[in-house]
Structure 1
Amino acid sequence: MAEPEDRFYESQGLQLHYVDWGNESAPPLILVHGGLDHCRNWDAIARELQPHFHIMAPDLRGHGDSEWAKGSSYSLTDNVYDMTRLMQFAGLQDAAFVGHSMGGMVALAYAGTYPEKVSRLIVLDGAFLSGSQPAPIHEQMSRWIDQLDRISEHQESTFRTIEEAAKRLSTRNKRLTSALALHLASYGVRKGADGLYRWKFDHYQRARAPYRLSPEDYVALWTRITCPTLLMWGDESFLSDPEAAGLLAHFKSAELEKIAGAGHWLHHDRLDVVLASLRRFLGAPEAALAVDSGITGL
């Protein structure tokens, strides 16, 4: 399948988008992107695994081609609800999940809420707990209000070309090839009536709302996960080592894979290693040839 099909479903009055890579008779696999990202960042992995799985990759609310929420702080629980709606819309009783960063947190929370609906779970640099005590609630509230005010006054970044947006992405991750940066940018920006390109994601997602899950809440969810779980971490990530943080003790059946020479975007930095691990853990046959991402120059 050269390109996936665009599909939409409804959740809390929002029209949410996902791409369906076909192969409906195969086991379902849902790929969940991270914050300020979009579903097409999985394309290289989806193309490789599509012969063995029915792959669906959603744009989380406020991302990609999904609608923005009005007056929402994009809580984790809202995103978990959206996952339940996607599962219902696609007619799935269970699925394997792969989540990156914030998408990993969403997948973990969904698996902890509905352990019987997740057959396998892989989290790319998305399992972490805050070790610091939360600030007093009045400080959290005032900080959040200040953030919202700043965002309302924020001037969006604009780009004359998609290539300019691709260069901006490359400043965030130096390992991106020019072809991959251009691919990510082409699905990550939207052209306005003024002819300029702007990011598709809603900047209000940057606000840190005071009504968040506590570390104890996360642990309570993780301990309910019953499926085999693989945590993947890059040794150059800005997040802490899950093993050193003692996170594996909170799972019934979890293993950790550390990837050398990778930062936060594991699947972009070391695609070959990540794909091999996904194949092994998901039970997909090994590739006969070297990875062909379908993205020129990757």
Structure 2
Amino acid sequence: MLAPQSRFYESHGLRLHYADWGNHGAPVAILVHGGRDHCRSWDAIARSLRPHFHVLAPDLRGHGDSDWTKGGSYALTEYVYDLAQLIRSIAAPQVTLIGHSMGGMVSLIFSGSFPELVSKLVVLDGVTMLPDAPKAPTHERISKWVSQLDRLHDCTPRRYATLEDAAAQMVLHNKRLARDLALHLATHGSRRNEDGTYSWKFDPYQRASAPHRLWPDDHVALWSRITSPTLLLNAGESFLAGARAAGLERYFPQARIETIAGAGHWLQHDKPEEVLSEILRFLGLAEG
């Protein structure tokens, strides 16, 4: 079975990893994972897109086999910077972006900031900042952030006796997740400790909400600058149900907005065939 090559690049003084699925010379597609996930979460979609694209799947800073930041700073704009550095490092004139959850937000921000660099955009359950979301007072945001960092400082990473135990924990969080896929995700998403147990690769500090984050008006302004054809693929049973009710068509008049029925937030894992079919149709590719 086709497996990607591991490659690295530098951004912001960090050594960042990405999976390179080959097919050099073809148009570039970059698959951007969500929070507490990793690049090998995209394997099924990456294999299907490889005949048509040079597929790259980065591990965002603080995730997978990429470096953690010093000081635990993980604003969306920092992920955007890393994405910009990756695109520069491969000298791609344009890319197709496919992002899930937080990776969808990163892709939306990048596409609105650098519309000339994005040929097509696919966002999987990734509109996590609603246009009418309230903005808390500055002192409350800073106080919350300090409290989050204090709690994270005292946290001890959870340890699992086996990879199967780690996979079982993933299934507890997503009842739809097939056990073989859970084991695949745990295998690539955890590292072995000195005592033989396993812990997740992601930096716990990426859970903290930066007080200097972008806010609804910033996102709406960026969305209005997106010029590429866009597919917003929502999950019918996601905890982000507010996105479906937010009237996103007002902010994305040129986008195709579809919903995958019976899928939770990790729709590419819950309904892989349906998600892949929608992506291929949007990209103008025949399935098979």
Corresponding residue number in structure 2 for 1:175:
176
1:83 aligns with 2:68: no
RMSD (Å) for aligned C-alpha atoms: 1.2
- Gaps in structure 2 of 5+ consecutive residues: none
Corresponding residue number in structure 1 for 2:238:
237
Q: Distance in 2 between matches of 1:112 and 1:30?
A: 16
Contact 2:102–2:128 under 8 Å retained in 1:
no
Q: Distance in 2 between matches of 1:79 and 1:252?
A: 26
Contact 2:30–2:57 under 8 Å retained in 1:
yes
- Gaps in structure 1 of 5+ consecutive residues: 288-298
Q: Distance in 2 between matches of 1:273 and 1:73?
A: 36
Corresponding residue number in structure 2 for 1:275:
276
Corresponding residue number in structure 2 for 1:253:
254
Corresponding residue number in structure 2 for 1:116:
116
Deviations 1:156-203 (A, max 9, x none): 100111111000110111111110000000001001122211100000
Q: TM-score, normalised to structure 2's length?
A: 0.97
Q: How many residues align?
A: 287
Q: Distance in 2 between matches of 1:278 and 1:242?
A: 19
Identity of aligned residues (%): 56
Q: Distance in 2 between matches of 1:17 and 1:243?
A: 33
Superposed counterparts of 1:30-109, under 5 Å: 30-109=30-109
Q: Distance in 2 between matches of 1:133 and 1:87?
A: 34
Contact 2:75–2:209 under 8 Å retained in 1:
no
Q: Counterpart of 1:221 in 2: which secondary structure?
A: helix
1:160 aligns with 2:161: yes
Corresponding residue number in structure 1 for 2:199:
198
Q: Counterpart of 2:109 in 1: which secondary structure?
A: helix
Contact 1:101–1:125 under 8 Å retained in 2:
yes
Query: One-letter code of the match for 2:270?
Result: D
Q: Distance in 1 between matches of 2:282 and 2:133?
A: 33
Query: One-letter code of the match for 2:240?
Result: L
> Residue 140 of structure 1: CA displacement?
1.3
Q: Given the superposition, is the C-alpha separation of residues 239 and 210 from structure 1 closer, same or farther in structure 2, using an over 3 Å criterion?
A: same
Q: Distance in 2 between matches of 1:208 and 1:46?
A: 30
> Residue 246 of structure 1: CA displacement?
1.5
Contact 2:101–2:128 under 8 Å retained in 1:
no
> Residue 282 of structure 1: CA displacement?
1.1
1:220 aligns with 2:221: yes
Deviations 1:114-165 (A, max 9, x none): 0010000000000143434222211111111111010000121001111110
Query: One-letter code of the match for 1:31?
Result: L
Query: One-letter code of the match for 1:52?
Result: H
Q: Distance in 1 between matches of 2:99 and 2:13?
A: 24
Q: Distance in 1 between matches of 2:253 and 2:117?
A: 16
Contact 1:225–1:252 under 8 Å retained in 2:
no
Contact 1:8–1:18 under 8 Å retained in 2:
yes
Q: Counterpart of 1:41 in 2: which secondary structure?
A: helix
Contact 1:100–1:124 under 8 Å retained in 2:
yes
Q: Distance in 2 between matches of 1:155 and 1:60?
A: 22
Q: Counterpart of 2:241 in 1: which secondary structure?
A: coil
Q: Distance in 1 between matches of 2:244 and 2:138?
A: 31
Q: Distance in 1 between matches of 2:54 and 2:255?
A: 24
Q: Distance in 2 between matches of 1:101 and 1:277?
A: 17
Contact 1:68–1:202 under 8 Å retained in 2:
yes
Structure 1 segments, 4+ long, off by >4 Å, are none
Q: Distance in 2 between matches of 1:31 and 1:132?
A: 27
